[in-house]
Amino acid sequence: MTRIDRITMNPEVMGGKPCIRGMRVTVGTIVGLLAAGRTRQDILVLYPYLEDEDISQALAYASWRSEEMDVPLVPA
Q: What is the pLDDT along the chain (76 residues), one digit of tens a residue?
A: 578 999 999 999 999 999 999 999 999 999 999 999 999 999 999 999 999 999 999 999 999 888 775 666 666 6
Q: Which amino acid, one-letter code, is at 59?
A: L
- The pTM (predicted TM-score) of the whole model is 0.85
Domain ranges of the chain: 7-66
Instruction: For residues 25 and 9, give the distance between their C-alpha atoms in angstroms, rounded to a whole number.
Output: 11
Instruction: For residues 21 and 50, give the distance between their C-alpha atoms in angstroms, rounded to a whole number.
Output: 9
User: Into which CATH architecture does domain 7-66 fall?
Assistant: Orthogonal Bundle (1.10)
Contacts of 49 (CB under 8 A, 6+ apart): 23
